[in-house]
């Protein structure tokens, strides 16, 4: 793990759980937010506005609150680069031959970029007698992928070419698409300015515009592009104060397929929510081999995605009678889960098991959420976020936009686990404890 990321892993986890405990305290509705996106947006605000830097870094539990502006910017870029599998938005390939090659396949722009990134990495690892120059090496490797061999290549090169061809033909469509973007929108009506050193390192994502209009339109355009259309209208003019100096924005787009395939159930299954409410719901099902904890009144299950370090984890209190789900007990459970970090606690206690899992399909679209109270940094005008998450038999697609002003045991008959009453969930990286998304699911009817 990168030394910087290792140093702030606890900060990420503490910030995520503390924010969730405060934000979800009074809610009993479907909701999801991205702690990672909020963390980065606040970090960006700290990097460009020294007067509030100490307050922000302290609230983020940052290990070094004396860090310079330039170091913050460099580390900020790494925080985004660490999670992404594709560039945040379209970039040229700088290789006409690759573009001609990849256009022969019916891939999305994201898939084309993943193919490009992987080919770059493969050629950089090649240790044969290829030309020394990086670009020539890339073109040489691509020529072999396109036209085959003449019999003089090394076995190492041959294996890499075959591996890449298999990727293009079989696996690329299953690869995760994870992209993060940072933007700084400066209100041209104010006298806010940045030093030349900061401008030089941030010039690719700084925009000057008038608040609120037409600034909100430019902001929405960038957010819509980076979230692949999931968040087309991030802000309205009334959300943007004309007296704000700037708006720092981070977006995260996440799309990944399940490692174990799911299928839809043949019929709807009851989902039990509060007040004895029972709702017929579309469920998905699969026999999965993964880490499971199912005792002491708690169900924990970890679901892996294909080719990514991120996992989808579910925590649910067990009920004796599914038809009687107690709201007070659930609120006590979730607050304890956030304060004691149940996701790490029960991942450590969980054992590899094969279970037959059934869980609801769901879509959660949040309205603009205000985190001022949950995060509580007085000098900031507002801290807002929108999130869309879709969970189905294919996998998970989610997007967030944040803005800050100023070994398996095989069973012949696997145990059945049914996620059929309120639960909490996260998408996180167990290695760094970084939580991309965190949410609560109460009732299927709210997903329409």
Same domain, 295 and 438: yes
Task: Assess contact for 212 and 237: CB atoms under 8 A.
Answer: yes
In a domain, 134, yes or no: yes
Q: How many residues are present in the chain? A: 448
Same domain, 284 and 428: yes
Beta partners for 290? 353
In a domain, 41, yes or no: no
* pLDDT given at position 446: 46
Q: State the residue for tokens 């507002």.
A: 382
Same domain, 438 and 316: yes
- Interstrand relation of 298-304 and 383-391 (parallel, antiparallel or unpaired): unpaired
Q: What is the CATH number of the domain that holds 341?
A: 2.30.39.10
pLDDT exceeds cutoff 80 at 407: no
**C-alpha–C-alpha distance, residues 129 and 131, integer Å:** 7
Average pLDDT over residues 81-90: 79
**pLDDT tens digits for range 233-285:** 999 999 999 999 999 999 999 999 999 999 999 999 999 998 888 999 999 99
Same domain, 314 and 422: yes
Same domain, 170 and 272: no
Percent of the chain with pLDDT over 90: 59
**C-alpha–C-alpha distance, residues 426 and 32, integer Å:** 9
**C-alpha–C-alpha distance, residues 305 and 261, integer Å:** 10
Boundary residue ending a domain (155, 174, 193): 174
* pLDDT given at position 259: 95
**Residue 379 or residue 265, greater confidence:** 265
Tally of domains within the chain: 2
Output the CA torsion 256→258→261→267 (10° steps). Answer: -90
Boundary residue ending a domain (157, 174, 191): 174
In a domain, 191, yes or no: no
Q: Tokens at residue 336, please?
A: 């304890």
Using pLDDT thresholds of 50, 70 and 90, give the confidence band for residue 411: very low
Out of 106-110, 128-132, 274-278, 405-409, the most confident range is: 106-110
- Interstrand relation of 298-304 and 311-317 (parallel, antiparallel or unpaired): antiparallel
Nearest Cα to 368, choosing from 217, 231, 228?
Answer: 231
In a domain, 311, yes or no: yes
Same domain, 333 and 443: yes
What SS3 state is found at 163? helix
- Interstrand relation of 415-418 and 351-360 (parallel, antiparallel or unpaired): parallel
The verdict on whether omega for the bond into residue 214 sits within 30 degrees of 0, i.e. cis, is yes
Nearest Cα to 431, choosing from 86, 4, 5, 105?
Answer: 5
pLDDT exceeds cutoff 90 at 432: no
Handedness of CA 362, 341, 5, 71 (dihedral sign): positive
* pLDDT given at position 347: 96
In a domain, 13, yes or no: no
* pLDDT given at position 10: 82
What SS3 state is found at 170? helix
Look up the pTM and report it: 0.91
In a domain, 144, yes or no: yes
Same domain, 331 and 432: yes
**pLDDT tens digits for range 162-202:** 999 999 999 999 999 999 999 999 999 999 988 888 888 88
In a domain, 208, yes or no: no
CA-to-CA separations, 219 to 89, 128, 165, 208, 238, in angstroms, rounded? 14, 47, 39, 11, 13
In a domain, 212, yes or no: no
Q: Tokens at residue 52, please?
A: 């509030």
Task: Assess contact for 141 and 162: CB atoms under 8 A.
Answer: no
Same domain, 163 and 278: no
Same domain, 300 and 441: yes
- Domain range for 150: 96-174
Boundary residue ending a domain (174, 199, 220): 174
């Amino acid at each position: 793990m990168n030394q910087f990321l290792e140093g702030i892993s606890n900060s990420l986890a503490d910030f995520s759980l503390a924010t969730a405990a405060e934000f979800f305290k009074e809610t009993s509705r479907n909701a999801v937010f991205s702690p990672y996106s909020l963390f980065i947006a606040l970090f960006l605000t700290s990097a460009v506005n020294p007067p509030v830097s100490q307050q922000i870094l302290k609230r983020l539990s940052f290990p070094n609150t004396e860090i310079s502006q330039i170091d913050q910017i460099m580390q900020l870029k790494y925080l985004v680069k660490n999670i992404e599998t594709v560039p945040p938005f379209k970039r040229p390939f700088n290789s006409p031959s690759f573009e001609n090659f990849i256009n022969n396949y019916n891939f999305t722009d994201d898939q084309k970029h993943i193919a490009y990134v992987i080919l770059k990495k493969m050629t950089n690892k090649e240790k044969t007698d290829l030309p020394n120059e990086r670009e020539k090496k890339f073109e040489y490797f691509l020529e072999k992928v396109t036209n085959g061999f003449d019999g003089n290549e090394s076995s190492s090169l041959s294996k890499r070419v075959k591996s890449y061809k298999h990727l293009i033909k079989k696996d690329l469509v299953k690869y995760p698409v994870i992209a993060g973007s940072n933007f700084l929108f400066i209100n041209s009506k104010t006298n806010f300015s940045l030093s030349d050193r900061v401008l030089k390192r941030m010039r690719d994502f700084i925009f000057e515009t008038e608040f609120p209009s037409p600034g909100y339109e430019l902001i929405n355009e960038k957010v819509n592009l980076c979230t692949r259309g999931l968040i087309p209208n991030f802000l309205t003019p009334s959300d943007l104060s004309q007296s704000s100096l700037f708006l720092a924005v981070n977006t995260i787009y996440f799309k990944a397929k399940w490692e174990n395939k799911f299928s839809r159930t043949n019929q709807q299954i009851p989902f039990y929510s509060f007040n004895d409410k029972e709702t017929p719901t579309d469920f998905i099902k699969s026999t999965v081999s993964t880490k499971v904890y199912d005792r002491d009144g708690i169900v924990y299950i970890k679901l892996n995605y294909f080719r990514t370090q991120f996992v989808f984890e579910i925590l649910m209190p067990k009920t004796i009678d599914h038809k009687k789900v107690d709201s007070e007990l659930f609120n006590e459970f979730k607050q304890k889960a956030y304060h004691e970090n149940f996701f790490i606690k029960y991942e450590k206690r969980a054992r590899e098991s094969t279970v037959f899992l059934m869980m609801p399909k769901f879509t959660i679209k949040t309205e603009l959420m205000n985190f001022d109270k949950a995060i509580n940094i007085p000098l900031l005008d507002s801290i807002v976020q929108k999130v869309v998450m879709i969970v189905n038999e294919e996998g998970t697609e989610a997007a967030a936009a944040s803005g800050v002003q100023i070994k398996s045991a095989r069973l012949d008959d696997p145990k059945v686990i049914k996620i059929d009453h309120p639960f909490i969930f996260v998408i996180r990286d167990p290695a760094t404890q970084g939580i991309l998304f965190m949410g609560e699911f109460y009732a299927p009817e709210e997903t329409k």
